[in-house]
Structures are given as structure tokens and as C-alpha cells.
């Protein structure tokens, strides 16, 4: 009778916890089973998150690569900046631009243009042994009123040669005449162009600098007042 009751009790306990093997384990075995299940769940979560983390790290690395210069690129950029700064330091300064505040023109503004090799867009200078060239356009009330060419030479003979070539070239054009008044600086001449009677053209050599100036004739007085300052 006692044996039958014991077996019945064990059968009832098993039916109340079907499929739960830990119910038949000792306390120590149950704890080990729970730890194993937790580790398995953690590993599954880590395995699921790993691709996302790897993708995130890859994106971050790519972004850092795109936004960061290589040491070579950084060195080249620094080198170019240094060279440019040295060029600016040793570049000859335009005398005309530095003294231009003394030139009176109403509502004056000016722009330095890229010189394309011809004085007055006509006289070729490719044979000139020139050190520095400036071409300046002057505006009054937002309208062009004068163009100034400034050429700096190494010595006076080279400047004189350029002056003589300019005068000879101007005389070679039909209907163009030069008037060597030598009124300004070391030597100077006007160019008379019958097709542009409202403009004055004058070429002036001051020491080692050659100026070729084209301006509206109503500014003649302003330029004449400016020349003593420019050629001082």
C-alpha cells in the first residue's frame, strides 16, 4: 500500500511540470542550467548585433577617411601655401597702384587685369625683356575711364629699348602718328589716333619703368596733376 501511494505522488508531480527537465534536478544543477540558458541567450543577442556594429564601425571609418587628409596631401597643401606666401612677399609692387590715391577721379575704383601681351591691345611686347607687368583699369561711377600699363625693367637701357620699340611700332600703323613732346619724366610721346578722338594715349619712361596710359580726354588735367607725384 505505501509503495503504491509513493508512486502515485511521483506520477502527479511529473504531470504538473511536463517538459521542464530542471524540475527533476537538484538546486545546484538548476542554477547551472539557468546560467547556461542565459549565456546562450546573450550569445544569440551578440551574434545578431554583430553585423550592425560592424556596419556602423565601417561607416565611421569611411567617414573619417573622407574627412581626413593623408599626411602627403597635408604636406603638399602646406608647401603650396608657403610658396604662394613667398611669391607675394617678393613680388614687385606697382608704383602706380601705390600712389593712385593721389589721382583725383570722381567716385574712383580700379581693377588689376591680366596682361595679355599688348599695349593698348595693339602693340606687341613679346620682345621686351620685362621683369614685371601691371595692367590697371580705372572706373568712375562704375564706368571705365582709363587703362594704365606699367612695365618694370632691370635697368635703364632695357627700358629705353622698350620705349623706342613702342614708338616705332606705333608709327608703323597707317593714320597713326606719334608726338614726342618729352613733357613728362625722362621721355614721353603722345599717340594720335583719329578713330578715337575722345581718348588720349601717352607713353612715358620714368627711369626703369615704362607707362602706357589711355584715358578719357576730360581727365587730362587730373593725370597732369598726378604725374609729379608718380614721377617724383
Q: Please say whether the beta carbons of 107 and 141 come within 8 A.
A: yes
Q: Specify the length of the chain in residues.
A: 232
Predicted confidence (pLDDT) at residue 72 exceeds the cutoff of 90: no
Cell of 131: 621683369
Q: How confident is the model at residue 173 (pLDDT cuts 50, 70, 90)?
A: very high
Q: Using the structure block, give the residue that is written with the C-alpha cell 620714368.
A: 206
For residues 100-119, average pLDDT: 95
* Torsion angle (degrees, nearest 10) of CA 211, 217, 218, 224: 40
Q: Please say whether the beta carbons of 172 and 111 come within 8 A.
A: no
Q: Which residue has the higher pLDDT, 26 or 100?
A: 100
So what's the pLDDT on residue 10?
42
Q: How confident is the model at residue 206 (pLDDT cuts 50, 70, 90)?
A: very high
Predicted confidence (pLDDT) at residue 33 exceeds the cutoff of 80: no
Q: What is the pTM of this model?
A: 0.62
So what's the pLDDT on residue 85?
44
So what's the pLDDT on residue 74?
45
136 Cβ partners below 8 Å, 6+ apart? 94, 96, 97, 100, 110, 111, 112, 113, 147, 148, 150
Three-state SS for 199?
strand
Highest mean pLDDT among 39-48, 52-61, 137-146: 137-146
So what's the pLDDT on residue 29?
46
No. of helices (H) and no. of strands (E), the chain: 6, 9
So what's the pLDDT on residue 151?
97
Which domains are seen in the chain, by residue range? 95-230 (3.40.1000)
Q: Please say whether the beta carbons of 62 and 68 come within 8 A.
A: no
CA 188 – CA 203 distance, rounded (Å)? 5
So what's the pLDDT on residue 93?
84
| pLDDT averaged over every residue in the chain | 76
CA 139 – CA 148 distance, rounded (Å)? 12
Amino acid at each position: 500500500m505505501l509503495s503504491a501511494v509513493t508512486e502515485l505522488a511521483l506520477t502527479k508531480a511529473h504531470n504538473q511540470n511536463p517538459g521542464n527537465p530542471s524540475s527533476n534536478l537538484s538546486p545546484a544543477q538548476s542554477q547551472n542550467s539557468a546560467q547556461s540558458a542565459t549565456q546562450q541567450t546573450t550569445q544569440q543577442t551578440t551574434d545578431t548585433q554583430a553585423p550592425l556594429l560592424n556596419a556602423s564601425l565601417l561607416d565611421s571609418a569611411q567617414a573619417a577617411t573622407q574627412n581626413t587628409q593623408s599626411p602627403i596631401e597635408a604636406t603638399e597643401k602646406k608647401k603650396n601655401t608657403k610658396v604662394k606666401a613667398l611669391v607675394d612677399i617678393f613680388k614687385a609692387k606697382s608704383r602706380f597702384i601705390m600712389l593712385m590715391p593721389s589721382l583725383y577721379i570722381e567716385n574712383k575704383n580700379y581693377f588689376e587685369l591680366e596682361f595679355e601681351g599688348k599695349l593698348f591691345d595693339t602693340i606687341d611686347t613679346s620682345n621686351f625683356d620685362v621683369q614685371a607687368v601691371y595692367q590697371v583699369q580705372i572706373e568712375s561711377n562704375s564706368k571705365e575711364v582709363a587703362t594704365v600699363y606699367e612695365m618694370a625693367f632691370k635697368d635703364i637701357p632695357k627700358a629705353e629699348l622698350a620705349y623706342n620699340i613702342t614708338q616705332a611700332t606705333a608709327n608703323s600703323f597707317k593714320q597713326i602718328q606719334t608726338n614726342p613732346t618729352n613733357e613728362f619724366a625722362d621721355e614721353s610721346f603722345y599717340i594720335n589716333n583719329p578713330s578715337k578722338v575722345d581718348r588720349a594715349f601717352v607713353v612715358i619712361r620714368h627711369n626703369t619703368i615704362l607707362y602706357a596710359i589711355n584715358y578719357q580726354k576730360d581727365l587730362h588735367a587730373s593725370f597732369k596733376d598726378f604725374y609729379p607725384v608718380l614721377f617724383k
